[in-house]
Amino acid sequence: MRKRYVSLIIAGRVQGVGFRYAARTAASQLGITGFAQNQFNGSVYIEACGKPEKLDEFVLWCRRGPAMARVTQVIINQLPPFEATQFSIR
């Protein structure tokens, strides 16, 4: 099975609005593994792995986020393969 691995830096009003928890739910529904963590600068950092089409759907979700979020920027970088069995919050 072919997988893609990316990191996302999501900026805007993304902390204190349930972004990581909603991302975990979205990732779980799409079969995406990895993690999300808040950064000191107010952004959310995500490493995600999944089938390319599902990962594309997840990235689209991250561009919107949950209802209270206001995403202003998403930076995407390709990553080397990593192991994760679920999507966690750090």
Q: Catalytic residue numbers? A: 20, 38
Beta strands 33-38 and 87-89, pairing class: parallel
Report the distance separating Cα 64 and Cα 60, nearest Å. Answer: 7
The C-alpha angle with vertex 3 and arms to 7 and 30, in degrees rounded to 5, equals 75
